[in-house]
Structure 1
Amino acid sequence: MKKVALITIGKPTSKVIKEQLESLFADKMLVETYLLSQKKEILSADVDLFLYTKGCIRYLLIEEEQIRKPYIETERVINHKNIKEIISIPKKTDVLLVNDSQRTAYEAIQQLELIGLDHVSYHPFYPGCRKMIEASIAVTPGETHLIPAEVEKVIDLGSRILDISTIHEIIFSLELEEKFEKSCLTEYLRNIVEISKLIDESRQDAQESEKLLERIVNSIEHGIAYIGENGHIINVNTNFEKIINRDKSEVIGKEISILMEIPNNTLKDQITWITEVNGVEMLVDVQKIHFDYRSGHLMTIQYTDRISKLGHRIRRNQEKKIKQQLHTFEDYLTQNLATKQMLGKAKKFSETDATILIQGENGTGKEILAQAIHSASRRRKGAFVPVNIGALTPTLLESELFGYEEGSFTGALKGGKMGIFEIASGGTVFIDEIGDAPLDFQVKLLRVLEEKKIRRVGAMEEIPVDVRVIAATNKDLLELVDKEVFREDLFFRLNILPLNTIPLRERQEDIHYLLKIFVEQKFEEETDFLEIFDDKVIEQLINYQWRGNVRELINLVEYLSLTYDGHSIQCHELHPHMLKDSGSANHMKEDTIFLEKNALWILSTLEASAPESLGRTALRDLAVKEGYSLGEGKIRRLLKELETKALIISKGSKKGYGMTPLGKTVLECHMKRS
């Protein structure tokens, strides 16, 4: 059983919606109700889905973290069951429409007019309303306590109920399609048709009643047809006419089987199928209905692609937040020239739809790179769906990526299930650890890449998919090809656009640069970067081999931020495994760094001024005094070069530059050589 949290502003709304959900979903859903004021309870609720009325979302938006997810912001409509008394009001009568806010009052008026109850003059009234006309009748959707005392007649429509689109979003979000046998739309329409029985015959004639009913039914986006027991069409709405491309006059009285294919040529009490109408795929639903002395069938018809869009509406709501969290190229931090060149290549690759293979060690940002490519591509509005092959068993792998049909294996859901390739259609699938893919799966993936089609487990038909594949691995795939554990044809199909990430040990200038950034992010107190670490620690980190790459560096900084006591961090305070690797694995490369004389002069000047730091202006003035022809522009370029090589560090925009331990060692090496 699925659990749903319903969050409303008032209890009457909560009561009505809870009753509506429980009547529709019966034993398939447990509804827990919360008022907006119960924020602690909402934050701790353990449910599958949160339903918020629009008012709640509006108030909660000032505190984004209090909006629990996954969620649906509900759309509500006037309950058609309760409009009899409005129909009986004489034309052009002034009526107060009373609701809890200006927005909801106008919304209720719009909904009443939309379904054809526009024969009276509605005037909104709400708390804080400065102007109120004299009226003897007030209409309200459950807010009777707000009605002025002088009003003589009150028509309470009751709290508004969830509309059809919201009901369908709930069904798709909770994956109840295959378990939901009752047609929501049929019940909805049944309520509408009941309106005709509630009309005050003393005022309304049959023709006017029929027009009202027709306007209500035509406002629904599905195609709708009422069919007699003999299979002949009695009436249709305007959307049915549009879908079948025929006027109502052409189809009334015709057999429905002439217009579309009916399974076994028989309309059952309840049946749903997919068929083609004028070359377009449609979903058709038929329900048997009874009205007094006669019975018939209510048929609804809709485009299958519209169903797909409806099924993805809740996912798209969630994706707005997800997409904001996807990385871009700006998030791949580096000062290394080779890495910048790799990023430049990746940016060009993002302009195409070709398959990309990213190879590199763990912790070098392969998924960040994949997200950045997706974010910069034409597919950025589509989904980015990652899948880690190493986290799935061989038996689950195929069904997760390709989906499965009903009854294809024990435990398969009724109706089957979409796979990742279908879900990500129009977007990007990121397949991580592709080197761990089983051989039999490799064959099927190769076909998907070549044919752009997938076949669900247990299905005969192929489904076209529109996805871009980005694969990643920390293994040498050509080596796996030689060992005959990875298909050569799949390697070349994946390797159309190859990218290789660069390990951190080959990006020495990035270690100092990233270390400073991560310290600013992780350390709560604003501390001078150079005061946090002992000089020998910086030296060791720059020359450490970084087997875990950037991920290891981030983990180290987080660890140090938790153990930092305000004193300068020493080498023995690093991760124990780093101390074991600090021997022969680390080797000094200071003597391989060569600098021109002006850069050396800046280094020696900064060393002489220590512990005081110097900025560009101070260095320019000193250069003039000592006879060096260095303008501020050239000094800026030299400082940037030295900072890139991790020989100096900026202490802030107005605090100047200081030497790093590596800078001191490099200067000493140059002094010895001279």
Structure 2
Amino acid sequence: MNQLADPSVDLLLNQRNSNFIKERKKLAIVTGSEATKETLCSQMKYYLEDCVDIEGYSEEVMVKDPIQADLVVMSSKILSEEMAEYVSPECPVLIAKRSLNIENIEKLFGIPKGTSVFFVNDIKENAVGCIEALQEIGIDYLELIPYYPGCRIYRNANIAVTAGEMALVPDHVEKAIDLGARIIDISSIVEILKLLDLMDQKLSLVSEKYKETMIRFSNHLYHLFNEASSMNQYLARILNQINDGIIAYYGSGIISIFNEKSREIFGAASAGDLIHNVIADSSIKEYLLAEEDLSDRLFRLNQEDLIISKFRIDKLDTTVCTIKNTKENKDIEVKLRQDLIRKGYIGKYRFSDIAGNSTVISDAVHIAKKLAKSDLNILIYGESGVGKELFASAIHNESLRNRGPFVAINFSAISEDLIESELFGYEEGAFTGAKKGGRLGIFEQANQGTIFLDEIGDISLRIQARLLRVLQEKEIRRVGGSENIPIDVRVIAATNKNLVQMCRDGSFREDLYHRLKKFYLKVPPLRERCQDIEVLVHHFLKKHGRGRLQISAEVMETLRMNRWNGNVRELENVMEYFIAVCDTGTVRMSDLPEDFFDESVMGHGGQNTESATVRGIQNPMMIDHDASGIQTRNDDAEYTTYSEALCQRGNLEEYLFFLKLIKEYTDRGQTISRKTMAEDAKNRFPYLTEERVRKRTDDLQALKLITKSAGRVGMRLTINGLKYVNYNTQ
């Protein structure tokens, strides 16, 4: 006979089951990408899977229903703003602090000390933050360079490290290391436990697992430092081969490094000795032990002049100083300089050699001096004979490369068949007539210096393609060779042709044009600086040894009013003619060449209004020019300012793409959302999530190129935005 169930017992069991169900909390994790979602969900399941239901959401996959959970964890502040509408209002939200996944740090241990490495992330702030995190945990022996979409690369690297952003790694990188998506920081995990009321139940477990991870990481560091110890022995051998004295010391002057050259200068010493006991000269000893004095100082010791420099490494409480013997270093520098002069690889001109005091030439010199301080490529435009090579040489001598070679090549003076071997050199047996042992090209000869590519508009598309690769990869391959040779040169190119029109015609590569035109300089023609003619006349007469030769007032006025189609070179030729034919001490009208008036003022109705009016020149970096150097419209300055502002924020191509996309939707009478923009951009910019699109549109709104409104209006171009789009689609 079956017994009837006791209703009170059933009620008790139901209550217990209900309490058991309530004990399992629900945690929602919201991220920008699917990959990050998987990483963070896996991390939290490692700690909480036995008592918490964990659900992941990403911005890449549309959320259909509002997110319901006991706690919603957002992977970033920007994401919390983007996804706020998809979270139920009553749900508490925590913006997680995130840190690098040190589980994978061991992947970096095989990279040699001092190696240049890109750290790749989606935006600059994240890349810089990750670099700082690596340095804090001891990975400070690598040269970590932030890399993100649209950034300008000033130094190259063959290795890239990223935190889950492999799609953003540049194509030319030989080795990419993925540390995995950044994980939730331990401080945020504790906050999650607190908000889910799990502190008593889970804090000790979380703490133990975190300790295990840190101990494992410490073991890796221990083995790394053991390896570093053996490397120090090799380092000591290298330091002993250096021609300068090198001393490192810490604390109260305890020596840790004292190379052979230092022993020659100061006498025997070894690690562990005190600076105070080793160096007898009181002034040098006082300078070395003065922590606050980091200036370079000149000392006299044993009839030798020594330049001592020092710097601090605060993390190691160490001071490092170098001691140079001025005579020995001067002898080496003189030999190197003499070798460059012997080969003719030296900049012959300086800015002081540019004669003239007109506004246009003064402005051009002022801008050129600023450009010289950078290491970016420069495109110089100017008519034939204005002195483009003079400016290029002066820029080199004003730059940080002024001790390196200055090598020039004029493409209009070399046949197409020879250009490639001249630029890149060739290997032995590369072609009939090739020299035994091969030959260096001018790119190799210009290494550590500047190469001047004159008349760049005269090279063929085939040579343009090879030149573009050199500028991109910073390496060359000789004709007939198979080895890529790294080079470090600054390129200054010059032309008198309209490269913009040549790009439109397909006779000049647009990508090469933009590679060359990192900076732009226009050298004004002589007819725009006629008030400089008298200065130039006396300059050339003095240059050719006839500084006392007088020019009559009538001749000088005729020279001022000439059009000078051959520019400064033509004027110098005329001065040389005067020197040759003038029998008296004064040049008169009868001394002018017979054909002088063929294209002069008399050939233009007796009045040259263009040369009589000297036009001012604006900063070439602030206004856009076509390749002929002519300012196109007054609006160009504004448009170029927009382009420069966008380039500083990110990738200009992305911003132009979104501006044109907004215009297309507006023209069809449709609104456009960030989600739609991200989908339309997927083929061209696959790394752009909706979160990143939001940042791009914020930048456009900050520059007042678009407006953003809620509801049916959506995003619209402003009047300036519409003009800018039309300008860039012409």
TM-score normalised according to structure 1 size: 0.39
TM-score, normalised to structure 2, is: 0.37
